[in-house]
Structure formats: C-alpha cells, structure tokens
Amino acid sequence: MPIERRPLREQIRDELLRRLDRGDFSAGTDINEAALAGELGVSRTPLREALITLAGEGVLESSQGRGFRFAPVSKREFRELCEIVAALESLALETSDPGYLRKIAPELLRLARDFPDPVAEQQIIERHDDEWHDLLLSGCQNERLLDLITSVKAGMRRYAHLIAGDDAPLEREAAEHCEVAELLMAGHLDKATEALRDNWVNGMERMMSRIPSA
C-alpha cells in the first residue's frame, strides 16, 4: 500500500476542516498555535502553514500580532458565499459537455433519490451531498474553476454543522437535485442551470434561520 506521503501542512489542513465540521471550534476565539500544535503532535511551522492556507480560503481570519481565529459566522457572509458558489457552479455546468451531462443524468437522479437516512451521521449526509455535486461537475473541463469551487466551499464548512438534525430541509434538497437531474436527462441544459441556481438560493434561505444573527 502507498504510505501517506503528503506535506504535513495539507494533512493538518484536512484535520482542521474535519474538526470544523464536527463543530469543535468556537468561531471568533483566537487559536493558540503552541497548544494546537501540541494537540496535533506537530510543530508550529507546518501548523502555521496550514493556518495561512485556511486564511486564504476565508476559513480563518488573521490580524497582525494577534494570530489566527476562526472567522465568525453571519447571515450576510453565508449569503455572499452562496451567491458565489451558485455563480461558479452555474458556470461549470454551462461549460460542460451536454452529451456527457446527459449520460450521467440517470446516476445523478439515482443518487438524489436514495439520499441517506435523516438520522444518519451528519458527516455521512454531507458526504452524500458533496458526492452529488462532484458528479454533477465532473464533466467540467475548467480545472481552475473546479479548484476554486472546492476552495470556496471550504469556507462554507463553518456553516455545515448548523443544519444538523433536521430532515425537512434534506428532503427539499433531494427533490431539487432530482429536478436538476431530470432536466439534464431531457437535455435542457439552460433550465438545469437555472434549477441549480435556485437550489443554492433555496438552500441558503433554509439555512438562514439557523444562523445566529450576529
């Protein structure tokens, strides 16, 4: 088996994002580098490199002399992020090969239909959602765009745990995914793009009430 040979900074970044998903960190409070480094069993150097990466993705804030902290959540920022991702995913879909999209549409539909049990682990649910979006964008040739979408979505992870434990939104989400898939299957790329955009707008509004109003 190929043993793990990636820079520590990347592994640390991934671990921090995992902890973020679990809601381990309270937003706004400063990160103590020495303490966190000790907890992770690494030195401050690669930890700081990971923190700088995350700050570039908007997950963290930093200020001179005060180090890093998880950026506070806000309805406003969440709306901003949703607008951005909606535009980027729309672009990705528009510029994908229609033939390929049609080919994967059935699989998209299948994935959207058998969404996991609402009682399942939060992580499972998110992974399922990610899987759907990844497949949807798998036909996009624009590598940079895909990277950018991944990066922006990392910044949205701070909001992920807020939705935990409710199933009504999940079903709506699944229904909307079905609609996109069906439109793709019928070859209506423009309508599908529009439905995808609506999906993001609706998903945003579903979340809004859960975000503390700062």
Partner DNA sequence: GTGTACTATTTTGTACACAGAATTCATAGT
Partner DNA sequence: ACTATGAATTCTGTGTACAAAATAGTACAC
- Residue 155 interacts, among DNA, its own copies, none and using kind-specific CB cut-offs from 5 to 8 Å, with its own copies
Report the interface residues with DNA, using CB under 7 A.
5, 7-9, 30-35, 42-46, 48-49, 62-68
Instruction: Select from 31, 42, 52, 163 the one that contacts its own copies (CB under 8 A).
Output: 52
Q: Which listed range, 83-91, 158-166, 174-182, 187-195, lies at the site for its own copies (CB under 8 A)?
A: 83-91
- The least CB distance from residue 175 to its own copies, in Å, is 26
Number of residues that bind its own copies (CB under 8 A): 32
Q: How far is the CB of 57 from its own copies (least distance, A)?
A: 7
Regarding 160 and contact with its own copies (CB under 8 A), the answer is no
**Among 57, 20, 14, which residue's Cα sits nearest to residue 162?**
20
Strand partners, 62: 68
**How far apart are CB 72 and DNA at their closest, in Å?**
16
Q: Are 207 and 163 spatial neighbours (Cβ–Cβ below 8 Å)?
A: yes
- The sign of the torsion formed by the CA atoms of 58, 64, 68, 70 equals negative
Per DSSP, the three-state class of 116 is: coil
Q: 203 is written with which tokens?
A: 């998903």
Residue 187 zone, left/alpha/beta (φ > 0; ψ -120 to 50; rest): left
Report the half-sphere exposure of 189 (CA within 13 A, side-chain side): 18
Which stretches of the chain bind its own copies, using CB under 8 A?
Answer: 5-7, 9, 45, 48-49, 52-53, 56-58, 64, 77, 80-81, 83-84, 87-88, 90-91, 95, 142-145, 147-148, 151-152, 155
